């Protein structure tokens, strides 16, 4: 069946690099699954969870923003603004970050000059991290508010 050489890079570091069997990626056009021998493709990512199947089993990776490229020769590259493996997500920190962003949003509504779209993206991103971390730890999903 063959494998894909898969790499996730963020501006801060290379998060994951391995040979894998398949990967499901959330894009703006909906979720797509890449299998070996996929044709070359470039697509834009959405905040969400990416599922990777490698020799060890399935991994969940929280990603936010960026783009992906399937190259020839079974190479897949994901360039995300943020990416985190399920095992690396710090629940408390994610919750705090989300709360901080929500607070800021409340202030933005009160008329302060803050970049609203950016804040919404932060809230979504942290929510996504929470969801994935809780899924991994077999906890009930976080409450929306």
The pair of structure tokens assigned to 115 is 């970049």
CB of 4 within 8 A of CB of 55? no
- Cα dihedral across residues 89, 92, 96, 102: positive or negative: positive
Shortest distance (Å) from residue 140 CB to other proteins: 29
Shortest distance (Å) from residue 28 CB to other proteins: 7
Binding of other proteins by 109 (CB under 8 A)? no
Q: Which is nearer to other proteins, 11 or 57 (CB)?
A: 11
Q: Return all residues near 4 (Cβ < 8 A) that are at least 6 apart.
A: 19, 20, 21, 22, 23, 34, 35, 36, 38, 74, 75, 76
Q: Return the residues of window 49-108 that contact other proteins according to CB under 8 A.
A: 66-67, 69, 71-73, 77, 79, 81
Q: Return the residues of window 16-55 that contact other proteins according to CB under 8 A.
A: 27-29, 32, 39-44
Which residues would be at the binding site for other proteins (CB under 8 A)?
7, 9-14, 27-29, 32, 39-44, 66-67, 69, 71-73, 77, 79, 81, 115, 118
């Amino acid at each position: 069946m063959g494998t894909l050489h898969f790499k996730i890079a963020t501006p801060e570091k290379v998060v994951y690099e391995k040979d894998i069997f398949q990967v499901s990626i959330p894009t703006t056009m909906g979720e797509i699954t890449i299998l070996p021998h996929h044709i070359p493709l470039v697509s834009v990512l959405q905040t969400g969870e990416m599922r990777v199947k490698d020799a060890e089993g399935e991994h969940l990776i929280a990603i936010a923003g960026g783009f992906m490229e399937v190259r020839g020769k079974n190479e897949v590259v994901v360039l995300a603004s943020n990416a985190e493996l399920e095992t690396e997500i710090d629940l408390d920190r994610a919750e705090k970050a989300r709360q901080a962003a929500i607070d800021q949003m409340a202030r933005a509504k009160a008329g302060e000059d803050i970049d609203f779209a950016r804040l919404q993206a932060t809230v979504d991103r942290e929510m996504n991290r929470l969801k994935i971390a809780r899924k991994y730890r077999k906890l009930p999903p976080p409450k929306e508010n």
